[in-house]
Structure 1
Amino acid sequence: MNKKELEDLVTKQQAQLARYKGRLADLVAAHKCLIKEKEVLEASLKAMSQSSPLLSSTEASTTSTVNSKASSPEKGSSDDGGGGEESDGCGVGSGGEEDSIESLKKRLTTLMNSIATLSEEKSRMEAGFQADKRLLRAEKLQASL
């Protein structure tokens, strides 16, 4: 092999190495995103399954009351203090119900944070896709000229 062929070979290998480095960086970034999504989904699953089988009948009725209020936004927004009055009027110890409500609020917060994180990741992935799409179109346009 002469010097020119060796230089061409080195140039090709350097270009190939640069492509592999780019691919590896993309894979690492994608893997980190997947790990983050997995953690968020696991937290969501934990929040959904947490203390569900442990609900007693009074806590279950409180949960259904809270869920029905959450599903009808008109009642929930105009009657925020009404939930506490109803639970006190039942004659059952309100400490357990307050714990249940706090637990539900924590679960809801966890789920809302999970949704926000997943939305962020989706937006980031979409932006990357759009950038790649523009880049490929520009490369195609340059190649056709």
Structure 2
Amino acid sequence: MIGVAAMRPDGRRAGFSQVRSYTTIAAPGVDIFSASNTGGYQLVDGTSPAYALAVGTVALMMSRAPGLSPRQVRRVLVETAVKPARGYTVFPGHGLINARAAVQAAARAAPDRAAAAPYCPTISVHGGRSTC
């Protein structure tokens, strides 16, 4: 699990962002330029945009290294985050997400041989054997 807290532009916690002991990283969550449902753009605040930025970073990581395990993804995010001066705290967790550094580190990571088999959306069973 990756817990994402929302950060203000000044680096402080967004007032609406609840943080818990499982907060892993922080991502921008205030004044995020976003598409509007009216066809234009608008500034939005929330944990949803912060989480979307984190998920987008993970998607970019996986595009460079599709063999990463969930454990490796979390480790890369933690290791490449911009660290808080005091080390880990409930906010911002291990620090502010650094997408560029995370994608570069993911590209250098070796696949986790101990990880579970890749997700298979369709399984066919023929003669007692299952195939993806």
More helix by percentage: 1
Higher CA-based Rg: 1
When normalised by structure 1's length, the TM-score is 0.21
TM-score by structure 2 length?
Answer: 0.23
Instruction: Decide which structure has greater strand share.
Output: 2
